[in-house]
Amino acid sequence: MSRGRWYAAIVSWVSTAACGGPLSTLAPAGREAEDAASLFVWMTVAAAVLWTGLVALLLYATSSTREITNPRTGSRLIAAGFLLPVTLLPVLLVFGLRPLARADERSSPPPFSIDVAAEQWWWRVRYAFDDGRSIPLANEIHLPVGAEIPARLTSHNVIHSFWIPALAGKVDMIPGRSTRLLLAPTRTGEFQGVCAEYCGASHAFMAFTVVAHEQQDFDRWLLGQAQPAREPANESAERGSALFFRHGCAACHAIRGTSANGVVGPDLTHVGSRARLAAGARPNHPEALIEWISAPSHVKPEATMPDFAMIGRSDLTDIAAYLHGLQ
């Protein structure tokens, strides 16, 4: 392959490398993301047309083989170079403002809303209902396809940014004020959310899972999350439950249905049901739980949770069995 072809291959590979996968904005699964993706395509096409037109004019005007002697040709060239951007750019501006106006449009009252607070470095989630009920969760958001769910975004530490590339976003989470975003998934699937604003040592380990379900599946999931925690299912989990309280975990974590009601760390009532641990840092697995509990600082630099390296392997296995059983 010639050198030029190599360059072309590398450029096309690099430019399309991010066009798929769970973090792609070009595989939209939400109303706002669909608007953004189509805006991207139209902007790219229009920019290509404009660039091609202007370069063609430039080449014509500077071509050494032809001398422009007629002054009217010169004026026409200048007029064309002026008119092309002046007509095309306002059209793009209007086209680009349309999704902004649509961003908050809702066709029906939402069945519930979601509050998301950015912590260093995880996501505190709360489903809030009109009748005053609320369900505290963490690091995972589930949504019914077809619904338009308002999310209220806050932070009480530093600026974070809430971004689910396939659904919508990104919106800053600013201490002292709340921002909002409408989540309107258009197809089922599991997507990834990230923090898109540098917020400290573990910014890169601040992710979350988003699952869009059909309504029935969503209702089933929500019903499960609203329940108090399951009782330990076996002896190991029972020992793990006692160890959880003996080591003071309940001072920071809540497990609904038990006396654990700490609010510093994530709610663990259904921690076993989540896809990932520690805000996306590890897959949810007993071994990963053991690693996390014994040395959070290795998994997530500067995490607030202290290392529990003094707990023996067999006790850690029991605690992990208890937590993993909290489905």
**Which residues of this chain interact with ligand CUA, rule CB under 6 A?**
118, 121, 160, 195, 197-199, 203, 206
Question: Minimal distance in Å, beta carbon 120 to ligand CUA?
Answer: 7
Task: Pick between residue 175 and residue 248 the one whose CB is nearest to ligand CUA.
Answer: 175
Task: Pick between residue 127 and residue 208 the one whose CB is nearest to ligand CUA.
Answer: 208
Largest CA distance in the chain: 96
Question: Minimal distance in Å, beta carbon 296 to ligand CUA?
Answer: 17
Task: Pick between residue 206 and residue 237 the one whose CB is nearest to ligand CUA.
Answer: 206
Task: Pick between residue 84 and residue 196 the one whose CB is nearest to ligand CUA.
Answer: 196
- Assigned token pair, 12: 């096309």
Question: Minimal distance in Å, beta carbon 191 to ligand CUA?
Answer: 18
Question: Minimal distance in Å, beta carbon 171 to ligand CUA?
Answer: 13
Task: Pick between residue 195 and residue 277 the one whose CB is nearest to ligand CUA.
Answer: 195
Question: Minimal distance in Å, beta carbon 128 to ligand CUA?
Answer: 22
Residue 55's CB is within 10 A of a number of other CB atoms, namely 10
What is the distance between the alpha carbons of residues 247 and 235, in angstroms, rounded to a whole number?
18
Give the residue from 86, 30, 81 showing the smallest Cα distance to 56: 81
